[in-house]
Amino acid sequence: MEERINEGYKIINAISIGHTEFVLGVNVKHPDMFVTWECKGKTDYFWGHYYDNELKATKDLCQRVMDETLYLEHREQKQKTIHTAPDSGYRLIAFVKHGNNSAMIQFPTQELQDVLGSIGIKLPPERVYLKGHDNIEIHLQRGEGKVADELVHLFQGNNSLRMVNEVAKAVFHSDYRVYDKVKENLDTDYYKSAEDLLYDAVDYGKYLKDIEQKQKKTSSREER
């Protein structure tokens, strides 16, 4: 690997997925300090997650790569299943700043607590609200697709990052028919809050699973 140094950190590992690269660096003066970054063009490093342990930093690097991989796989599957345009978004993105540290979070994610901790936020995700903190700034990004933009509009300041994560999971990582139903309801302003949407998506997902189970039982009896 060619030698690369950014902000005093030597890059010791790099993994590319799609058009994105994730890197792991160690501080050249303090070998017990580590960071992971997303990187473009091997020169533009951003959204650093800082650690005092190489194992934790390596875990974060792997998780960021897996999150991006799952996002790309899910987007590809959605495009094949519901024939969406290539630039449609199937994720929510939040930019979180705490003091001098910041992170970009792609929802849904299984590592929400760890990412928040990496930038010094000790509160649990259900207590990290979109608005109302003196030392935490959160911005939900628009432009990830029509559904994602409408979801961003639906969230209120008293919604937590955990709520954002649960909504993203229910809409983007579930049966494609749930996505279709939510999209249709968003188009008609059916939902009055993110909570309304979450309950509707979860209930409809359970309904679809119940129908599938009944169909399997009926098919099994007919085969006998």
Least confident segment among 58-67, 96-105, 135-144, 197-206: 135-144
50 lies in the same domain as 142: no
Residue 171 contacts residue 179 (beta carbons within 8 Å): yes
Range with the largest mean pLDDT of 60-74, 120-134, 139-153, 161-175: 120-134
DSSP 134: S
DSSP summary character for residue 127: G
Is residue 85 over pLDDT 70? no
Q: Whole-structure pTM over 0.95, yes or no? A: no
Domain boundary at 87, 102, 132, which? 87
User: Where a domain ends, among 65, 87, 109?
Assistant: 87
129 and 39 share a domain? no
- 31-47 mean pLDDT: 89
The more confident residue out of 51 and 78 is 51
What is the spatial distance between Cα 71 and Cα 73, in angstroms, rounded to a whole number? 6
pLDDT digits (tens, 9 = 90+) for 186-195: 999 999 999 9
Q: How confident is the model at residue 221 (pLDDT cuts 50, 70, 90)?
A: low
Residues 82 and 99 in one domain: no
Residues 59 and 135 placed together within one structural domain of the fold: no
Q: Which pLDDT belongs to residue 24?
A: 97
Tell me which residue of 194, 184, 88 sits closest to 144, measured CA to CA: 88
Helix spans in the chain (H): 54-82, 112-118, 146-154, 161-172, 176-187, 194-223
Q: Are residues 165 and 54 in the same domain?
A: no
Structural domain for 105, as ranges: 89-218
Mean per-residue pLDDT for 140-154?
A: 84
Tokens of 176: 């494609």
- Alpha-carbon radius of gyration of the chain: 20
Let me know if residue 224 belongs to a domain. Answer: no
Would you give the DSSP letter of residue 90? Answer: -
Are 125 and 183 part of one and the same domain? Answer: yes
State the pLDDT at residue 12. 96
